[in-house]
Homo-oligomer: A and B are copies of this chain.
């Protein structure tokens, strides 16, 4: 038996466009011989529509587009996720999978376990399913539909966690299910490909039957969906797999066919691709023409520029060198070399005169820059903010978007200037630790030097005062990153981290800096989430003022 899966691009709120692309995908899958086709979760609206769901016209337009989709479905059934009105008590909507045949919805299954982790907040709008998961017959086979998270409980349970009272997977055990039809909206984070495979494999082993797993691909705001939709047969073998990050893929596989490779890649290539896709789709959806970024000669801005060129091509990326009195000639040369390697426009706008024009009146009012100055951040921040001002002037003049180049290590501890180097429409590497910045830079350079070797090898410095080094203020990056991974991603506090062997004083300093920097992160630009716990909006929900230090 041939079966089909549609790996949709994620386009939020594009009811008609999504419906039309689903019709195309369905038609193609049928043409290739598929006898049943599965599409992603909430596939008419695009899943990430947030409170837009609360406007009355949302369902009206959604349902009109859904009707169009239904009319295109013939005797090969389509299983697709939709948002639908909840006719009973509780929240106004349901997140459901529907089974359509010959233009009619024959079966519906609303989601039981609503996602509430990372950026998800489904209980805000959706009433969960309170009934047993339905099973139904299709051409002599027994089928069940599970929406995304409903398939994941097995995996969480395997890790000793029980996030939900219900476990739809175990509820289906022993029911003789032949086909498990799974619409998903499952975003990327580092290592997610393998995790997803293992989770599906475990669920398949419990339930039995074949799994048709349909996911989104592409970026939406801070999320990047990695696709990797696949078909696993009743023996647990992958017999069809869509490419990572590729959207509008139609996958048709023979359940009894030969095993194929699942796209396990979950290393630095995957991480790089996620960033590139995230930026490209955000730029495209925002309608900006190009991107602008300051090139300091350091590794962070160099990596951002290189990723931007991969995403958009050199003609849509502009670099600006903005030297101050503390910028080294080496840094200027490194930035120049980078721009040449990337073949991007690179302007030079010194900030010395701007700095002086700020310093003069402020010397009188607040003692700015006077000889008593010894390490105050005020003077450093004015330099960073003068640069932010230049980047934004470019962005305004060209209808372009600034890229903020700070990494996750810096954003965590607040080693960044608000309205300065934190300026921009997209913080491309805000969820990438410094050590991963190094790894990605080597990946960029694997076929020849793009990022100058000197940018990679020199000690990191903000160059905002004489002979400044990052390590004046921060632990060495390998140590900092290891502590932050525990603190931010694994919810390990002081005691757990000290138990792992980190210096208590360093741990306490990092936790204090991270807590104090929450006010900066609240005003940080959005950026692609590529870890299991990012610093993005809705992802880390953390108070600004709190007396509890973990």
Contacts and interface: CB of A to CB of B under 8 A. Distances in A.
Contacts of A423: 419
B365 A13 contact: no
Interface string A495-521: 110000000000000000000000100
Contacts of A347: 365
B221 A545 contact: yes
Contacts of A52: 542-543, 546, 548, 550
A50 B221 CA distance: 23
B538 A538 contact: yes
A376 B397 CA distance: 8
A496 B365 CA distance: 53
A54 B491 CA distance: 6
A357 B389 CA distance: 12
Interface stretch (A20-28, A120-128, A240-248, A473-481): A120-128
A71 interface: no
A31 interface: no
A20 to B, nearest CB: 12
A12 B524 contact: no
A545 B545 CA distance: 30
Interface residues of A, number: 100
Interface string A1-38: 00000000001111101000000000000000000000
A46 B419 CA distance: 31
A540 interface: yes
Interface in A340-361: 347, 349-350, 353-354, 356-358, 360-361
Interface stretch (A157-165, A175-183, A447-455): A157-165
A119 to B, nearest CB: 10
Given A124-B117, A547-B14, A366 B419 contact: no
A542 B15 contact: no
Given A50-B543, A51-B541, A389-B389, 13 more contacts: A17-B547, A49-B543, A52-B542, A52-B543, A55-B550, A56-B493, A116-B124, A121-B124, A286-B519, A353-B357, A385-B419, A386-B389, A522-B537
A89 interface: yes
A411 interface: no
B538 A526 contact: no
A361 B394 CA distance: 12
A48 interface: yes
Nearest to A349: B361
A494 interface: yes
Contacts of A547: 11-14, 17
Contacts of A15: 548
A544 interface: yes
A462 to B, nearest CB: 15
A496 B49 CA distance: 20
Given A90-B165, A124-B117, A366-B393, A543 B13 contact: yes
A496 B220 CA distance: 28
A497 B62 CA distance: 20
Given A368-B393, A397-B378, A14 B548 contact: yes
A114 interface: yes
Contact of A349 (B362, B396, B519, B526): B362
Given A48-B543, A347-B365, A392 B397 contact: no
A525 B526 contact: no
Given A220-B545, A393-B378, A548-B13, A57 B366 contact: no
30 contacts: A12-B545, A12-B548, A13-B543, A14-B547, A15-B548, A49-B546, A50-B541, A50-B542, A51-B491, A51-B540, A55-B492, A57-B494, A58-B550, A88-B165, A89-B164, A90-B162, A90-B165, A91-B163, A116-B124, A121-B124, A124-B541, A354-B358, A362-B390, A366-B398, A376-B397, A385-B419, A388-B419, A419-B419, A419-B423, A523-B523
A549 B50 CA distance: 13
A89 B165 contact: yes
Contacts of A45: 548
Given A11-B547, A124-B116, A419-B419, A349 B376 contact: no
A541 B123 CA distance: 13
A217 to B, nearest CB: 16
B130 A123 contact: no
A15 B546 CA distance: 10
Interface string A41-67: 000011011111011111001000000
> Top 6 A-B pairs ranked by shortest CB distance?
A13-B548, A55-B550, A285-B545, A13-B546, A378-B396, A357-B357
B361 A548 contact: no
A526 B117 CA distance: 23
B57 A550 contact: yes
A319 to B, nearest CB: 12
A543 B17 CA distance: 18
Contacts of A392: 381, 385, 418-419
Nearest to A11: B547
Contacts of A368: 393, 397
